[in-house]
Amino acid sequence: MRFVLAFMRFWYDFVVGDDGWIAAGVAVILGIGAALVSADVLADAVLTPLMAVAIVAVVMARVVAGARSSSRNSDRAGVPVDLRDR
């Protein structure tokens, strides 16, 4: 059991890395996209650019927000929060 957990932990760290919110954001947007495709409410020519803009905007906003929040917390604690960010 410990081996399975360690194996899953390794792959989570390897693919997702330090900021799970970025992966979560991508998953939510693709989930919405999947629902829109299933419902067949938008043409490909509209849906694909819409998805692209949503993904790029959300992940870049999260990168900045995550870095700022780490920076603020580290100022308060007097230690670089990025150490806990691994």
Partner 1 sequence: MSLDAIDLGLMAAVILASAVEFVEALTIVLAMGVSRGWRSTLIGTGLALVGLALVTVVAGYALVEWLPESLLQLFIGTLLLIFGLQWLRKAILRSSGLKALHNEDEEYRAQQAAAQRAGHDERLGLDWFAFVVSFKGVFLEGLEVVFIVITFGLNADSIPTAAAGAGVAAAIVLIVGAIAHRPLSNIPENTLKFAVGVLLSTFGTFWAVEGLGVFAAGSESLEWPVGDLWLVILLVAYVVLSRLAVATLRRGSGPGRPAAVPAD
Tokens found for residue 56: 């790029």
Examine residue 69 and tell whether it contacts partner 1 (CB under 8 A): no
CA distance 73 to 84: 11
46-55: Cβ within 8 A, 24+ apart: 54/29, 55/26, 55/29, 55/30
Site pattern 28..57 for partner 1 (x: CB under 8 A):
--x--xx--xx-x---xx-xxx-xx--xx-
Chain positions contacting partner 1, by CB under 8 A: 14-19, 22-23, 26-27, 30, 33-34, 37-38, 40, 44-45, 47-49, 51-52, 55-56, 59-60, 63-64, 66-68, 70-71, 74-75, 78-80, 82-83, 86
